[in-house]
A and B are shown apart, each in its own frame.
Chain A
């Protein structure tokens, strides 16, 4: 028979003992630290191996390292450049030329894609059945076809099959389209044009002051002033009036057929037009869908509330619907802008000299310095993406609903 008293002293001792934590291999905090050290170690080891391999490989292939190549003479021509460039310039300048070309097509693409996209998005919601369906067909066709295919189509199937300069398609005798590109008139400001610029600056300042005054007056007295129309008229009308009074100090440089080619005006190369058209058309369909869903996302109660307050359709849209729709529209819209900018790198497939085509293509082939060039190119795109993402986060923080 066991004596119960014999075991009792052990119990209080166990109770008073300090509570022991789990063994270290089961302690979440210890495990987290170990896990992170291991992960970091693996990444460092991986990076180090790659770095070593690259160094050895480059040495055995006789590739030099460093950014010294940027000062060497490039020795190749570039089809299209916004800044003066010729073969005697450096590789560093090819980088700038490519970057500017990328930014040009991205900027124009974004501008037109936004215009067409908003138009299509509204058309998609139109009460007119035919218009809504036509917008739908456009959107469903263009957004489901790869952008590269669209670029090829415009370039090889449309622009390259156009007639030569002598049979080029004319618009009002001023704009000419042929297989060498699009020729448009280009304005050259003459003496006295500065007055128009000054007038524009004065008009913009005046419009800003007018808007402020109108808002203050409405806040204080409740009386409204059509400040929107007035400032619009001011900004448009004053420079035009000055332009007319000074006798139109702009000379238009018209393209004209001279021998076998056009002289004068500005020439947009077919590569640029194909890329720009395809990117605009492709991205516009995505923007249209974003705009449509943004407008649909504003709940119907908001429209009813605006009606109940006695707002007409115009002010209701401007003051109630659009601000709320924009909150939904703008974040995906920016990511479409980023996509368009990144898609502009498809230029290299048809030979438009953008950053990837010029710098990551020709310059890389000539110098062989893959690591530096790829890193620089990616850094450019990363900078654009991350800065836009940063701005987007700021915007999001500013417009998020503040709930109580």
Chain B
């Protein structure tokens, strides 16, 4: 028996009328367009202007990149149309990814990429089991394994000179080592800058401001020109290591400022509580302060990483072939016609995917960590 069937109503059932659809002027795409596109004369003008811009750009881009582009083939002769010559990117893809790494040994790079994915992908999945341990592995053991695999010379692996490293692989190596090595140095610098000891504090301030005040390119110049002068006779670093030293110094200064921001955000009560528990400086810092501070600044660290990732392109100026460097050296190849745009679009796409993904990640984290005070 339905619940509406009330005996007082003489057994008659109360049947509500079926709801009428809302008037078409308050819902649906028309209403949306009126609210969001044509709400005022100014907005109408802006919309028309925007549509005109899109009409100018989008059809042209689609036609160039897809409709009249060439996708299959292996040489310049396979690109007869006016559109993009993606054949060029396909033919040079191996070079863009591995540089001059010997083809027979490229499986080692593949393993490194695979491990990187194993470390990174769970970091984007909330509540993935073993996420923390994978992260710790990524910061400690993974760089060692990567070094052994890429350099070779151990476990019967053939040694590969760093001079033949290149492409996307070099970009990833530079930025990964840059961030992993800069993190501990940055933490120490940030702690030093907030230390109560005047000598330590001023040393850290001078170091940080010195590196932050100069462009990375002059740091790289210095690393490649001046570092050999600094070292005693007979000691020599190869080009990649010199660039890495420059990048790590530069990056640790930025990292220190990010972490200092986190340290400043810790309320004084936490320090006092740690002291009341009888913890010394290092134990209080390591067990109470840093875990909270680092968690707060993860978005900031990711943002620094994004800018480092973009900055690694600068190494091509001192003669290393990162992703942009391999593209740059391929587009001047006389065997191909004018393919500069295709090469740059490909490189830009690679960088964009990494940077956009990371910035989305850091925004999600920010939203997760920044609860409350929201309107």
Chain A residues packing against B (C-beta within 8 Å): 32, 35-36, 39-40, 43, 50, 53-54, 56-58, 60, 126-131, 134, 140-141, 144-149, 152-153, 156-157, 161, 299-300, 342-343, 345-346, 348-349, 356, 360, 364, 370-371, 374, 377-378, 381-382, 384-386, 389
Q: Of B218, B331, B348, which one neighbours A374 at CB under 8 angstroms?
A: B218
Known A-B contacts A146-B311, A157-B341; A386 and B209 likewise in contact (beta carbons under 8 Å): yes
B contact residues around A153 at 8 Å (CB): 340-341, 344, 348
19 interchain pairs, CB-CB under 8 A: A32-B197, A39-B203, A57-B230, A60-B233, A127-B39, A128-B37, A128-B43, A144-B310, A144-B356, A157-B341, A343-B215, A345-B215, A349-B317, A356-B217, A356-B221, A364-B225, A370-B225, A374-B218, A382-B210
Q: A128-B46, A149-B351 are in contact. List 20 more A-B contacts (CB 8 A).
A: A36-B197, A40-B199, A50-B230, A53-B229, A53-B232, A56-B233, A127-B36, A128-B37, A128-B43, A129-B36, A131-B50, A144-B351, A148-B313, A148-B324, A342-B215, A374-B221, A374-B222, A381-B213, A381-B215, A385-B209
A35 touches B352 (CB 8 A): no
A contact residues around B212 at 8 Å (CB): 385
Cα(A111)–Cα(B270), bound, Å: 45
Chain B residues packing against A (C-beta within 8 Å): 36-37, 39, 43, 46-47, 50-51, 53-54, 196-200, 203, 209-210, 212-218, 221-222, 225-226, 228-233, 306, 310-311, 313-314, 316-317, 324, 328, 331, 338, 340-341, 344, 347-348, 351-352, 355-356, 359, 375
B contact residues around A386 at 8 Å (CB): 209, 213
Q: Of B214, B217, B347, which one neighbours A382 at CB under 8 angstroms?
A: B214
The 4 closest A-B pairs by CB, nearest first: A385-B213, A129-B36, A144-B355, A342-B215
B contact residues around A56 at 8 Å (CB): 232-233
Whose C-beta in chain B lies nearest to the C-beta of A300?
B375
Question: From residue B307, how far is it (CB to closest CB) to chain A in Å?
Answer: 9
Known A-B contacts A35-B197, A146-B324; A128 and B36 likewise in contact (beta carbons under 8 Å): yes
Whose C-beta in chain B lies nearest to the C-beta of A52?
B232
Known A-B contacts A43-B203, A57-B229, A131-B50; A144 and B344 likewise in contact (beta carbons under 8 Å): no
Q: Of A43, A146, A377, A378, which one neighbours B313 at CB under 8 angstroms?
A: A146
Cα(A141)–Cα(B352), bound, Å: 7
Known A-B contacts A39-B200, A140-B356; A146 and B351 likewise in contact (beta carbons under 8 Å): yes
Cα(A343)–Cα(B215), bound, Å: 7
A134 touches B54 (CB 8 A): yes
Question: From residue B364, how far is it (CB to closest CB) to chain A in Å?
Answer: 15
Cα(A378)–Cα(B324), bound, Å: 26
A54 touches B352 (CB 8 A): no
B contact residues around A144 at 8 Å (CB): 306, 310, 351-352, 355-356, 359
A134 touches B199 (CB 8 A): no
Residue of B39, B197, B199 ringed by the most chain A CB atoms within 10 A:
B199
B317 touches A348 (CB 8 A): yes
A145 touches B317 (CB 8 A): no
Known A-B contacts A141-B352, A374-B225, A381-B214; A152 and B344 likewise in contact (beta carbons under 8 Å): yes
Cα(A126)–Cα(B45), bound, Å: 13
Known A-B contacts A36-B199, A148-B324; A346 and B47 likewise in contact (beta carbons under 8 Å): no
B328 touches A134 (CB 8 A): no
Known A-B contacts A374-B225, A382-B210; A152 and B324 likewise in contact (beta carbons under 8 Å): yes
A contact residues around B213 at 8 Å (CB): 378, 381-382, 384-386
Q: Is the interface of A mostly helix, strand, loop or mixed?
A: helix
A contact residues around B317 at 8 Å (CB): 348-349
B340 touches A161 (CB 8 A): yes
A53 touches B231 (CB 8 A): yes
Whose C-beta in chain A lies nearest to the C-beta of B42?
A128
Question: From residue B4, how far is it (CB to closest CB) to chain A in Å?
Answer: 44
A378 touches B214 (CB 8 A): yes
B contact residues around A342 at 8 Å (CB): 214-216
A contact residues around B215 at 8 Å (CB): 342-343, 345, 356, 381
Whose C-beta in chain A lies nearest to the C-beta of B355?
A144
Cα(A132)–Cα(B310), bound, Å: 26
A145 touches B348 (CB 8 A): yes
Cα(A300)–Cα(B375), bound, Å: 8
Question: From residue B166, how far is it (CB to closest CB) to chain A in Å?
Answer: 16
B310 touches A146 (CB 8 A): yes
Question: From residue A348, how far is it (CB to closest CB) to chain B in Å?
Answer: 6
Q: Of A146, A152, A343, A360, which one neighbours B221 at CB under 8 angstroms?
A: A360
Known A-B contacts A127-B36, A152-B324; A346 and B344 likewise in contact (beta carbons under 8 Å): no
Known A-B contacts A156-B340, A385-B212; A145 and B352 likewise in contact (beta carbons under 8 Å): yes
Whose C-beta in chain B lies nearest to the C-beta of A151?
B313
A contact residues around B311 at 8 Å (CB): 146
Cα(A349)–Cα(B319), bound, Å: 11
A371 touches B226 (CB 8 A): yes
B contact residues around A343 at 8 Å (CB): 215
Cα(A146)–Cα(B216), bound, Å: 13
B36 touches A156 (CB 8 A): no
Residue of A128, A300, A346, A370 ringed by the most chain B CB atoms within 10 A:
A128
Cα(A36)–Cα(B195), bound, Å: 11
Known A-B contacts A146-B313, A349-B316; A130 and B214 likewise in contact (beta carbons under 8 Å): no
Question: From residue A96, how far is it (CB to closest CB) to chain B in Å?
Answer: 18
Whose C-beta in chain A lies nearest to the C-beta of B49?
A131
A39 touches B199 (CB 8 A): yes
Cα(A161)–Cα(B340), bound, Å: 10
Question: From residue B101, how far is it (CB to closest CB) to chain A in Å?
Answer: 22
B contact residues around A126 at 8 Å (CB): 46
Question: From residue B156, how far is it (CB to closest CB) to chain A in Å?
Answer: 37
B226 touches A370 (CB 8 A): yes
A contact residues around B310 at 8 Å (CB): 144-147
Whose C-beta in chain B lies nearest to the C-beta of A341?
B215
B226 touches A374 (CB 8 A): yes
B47 touches A130 (CB 8 A): yes
Question: From residue B222, how far is it (CB to closest CB) to chain A in Å?
Answer: 5
A contact residues around B314 at 8 Å (CB): 148, 346
Whose C-beta in chain B lies nearest to the C-beta of A56?
B233
Residue of B229, B230, B338 ringed by the most chain A CB atoms within 10 A:
B229
Q: Of A39, A43, A58, A134, which one neighbours B53 at CB under 8 angstroms?
A: A134
B351 touches A145 (CB 8 A): yes
Whose C-beta in chain B lies nearest to the C-beta of A360?
B221
